[in-house]
Amino acid sequence: MFGLTLEAVKDVAERAVRTFVQTFLALYAPVVLGAGSLGGLLDLSVADKAAAAGVAAVLSLVMGVVGTKVGTSEDNGSVRS
């Protein structure tokens, strides 16, 4: 996959999944916490929140792949090691 090592694929995938979960929970937290008005954030459906989290995860994935190509290590997605 894009000439990545197995370790790099695992690292980039973990970063993308973690970003998705963090973004989804960050968008869903105001509902759970009972926030009253957050500029329309509470009006987003679960699908909209999942889509926003998906966009963040894809950006994380792209950055991870770029990191393996321009970083100092082929085995992780960090731009700097």
Residue 20 lies in a domain: yes
Residue 79 lies in a domain: no
Dig out the tokens for 30 from the structure: 């105001």
Dig out the tokens for 1 from the structure: 């996959």
Residue 27 lies in a domain: yes
Residue 65 lies in a domain: no
Residue 8 lies in a domain: yes
Cα-Cα-Cα-Cα torsion 45, 49, 55, 58, nearest 10 degrees, comes to -130
Domains identified in the chain, total number = 1
Asked if residues 68 and 79 have their Cβ atoms less than 8 Å apart, the reply is: no
Dig out the tokens for 67 from the structure: 């990191």
pLDDT in tens, the chain (81 residues): 567 888 888 888 888 999 998 888 887 777 666 665 555 555 667 778 788 888 888 988 888 888 888 876 677 666 655
At residue 25, what are phi and psi to the nearest 5 degrees?
-65, -35
Q: Looking at the whole model, is its pTM more than 0.75?
A: no
Residue 28 lies in a domain: yes
Residue 73 lies in a domain: no
Residue 55 lies in a domain: no
